[in-house]
């Protein structure tokens, strides 16, 4: 069984400040980890993914995430946010080789203020 916990439901931050969105997971199989972004009234867009290899993963729009196996975490970071980063962010875990479905966290709403 797999599960994902996103510890913060909302994160307010000022423009140009750094941000970290936290994600912890549990899984009984090898994991593949993802961050998705959802802008208002849109579908989910893949930000970045960890499948194997380097634990620091870079994605689109200047985001990066670090896979920490010992802490079972995959936190998302950006050194300087823009107003346009205001959106909901979802962490997801995969690894069930049968159906290849993802298990999603409940989401973190990032609110960037001027």
Partner 1 sequence: NAGVTQTPKFRVLKTGQSMTLLCAQDMNHEYMYWYRQDPGMGLRLIHYSVGEGTTAKGEVPDGYNVSRLKKQNFLLGLESAAPSQTSVYFCATSPTGAYEQYFGPGTRLTVT
The alpha carbon of residue 2 and the mean position of all alpha carbons in its chain are separated, in whole angstroms, by 16
Q: Does 68 bind partner 1 (CB under 8 A)?
A: no
Among residues 25, 34, 74, 89, which is the contact residue for partner 1, using CB under 8 A? 34
Q: Does 102 bind partner 1 (CB under 8 A)?
A: yes
Whichever of 49 and 77 has its CB closer to partner 1, that residue is 49
Please say whether the dihedral angle defined by the alpha carbons of residues 80, 86, 87 and 88, taken in this order, is positive or negative.
Answer: positive
R_g of the chain, CA atoms, integer Å: 14
Q: Does 32 bind partner 1 (CB under 8 A)?
A: yes
Distance CA 3, CA 103 (A): 6
Residue ranges in contact with partner 1 by CB under 8 A: 4, 9, 32, 34, 36, 41-46, 49, 51, 90, 94-95, 99-102, 104-107
């Amino acid at each position: 069984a797999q599960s994902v916990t996103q510890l913060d439901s909302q994160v307010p931050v000022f423009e140009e400040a750094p941000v970290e969105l936290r994600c912890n997971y549990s899984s009984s199989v090898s994991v593949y980890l993802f961050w998705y972004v959802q802008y208002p009234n849109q579908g989910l867009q893949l930000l970045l993914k960890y499948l194997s290899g380097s634990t620091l993963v870079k994605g689109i729009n200047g985001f990066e995430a670090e896979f920490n196996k010992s802490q079972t975490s995959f936190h998302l970071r950006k050194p300087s946010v823009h107003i346009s980063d205001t959106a909901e962010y979802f962490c997801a875990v995969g690894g069930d080789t049968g159906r290849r479905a993802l298990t999603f966290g409940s989401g973190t709403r990032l609110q960037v203020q001027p």
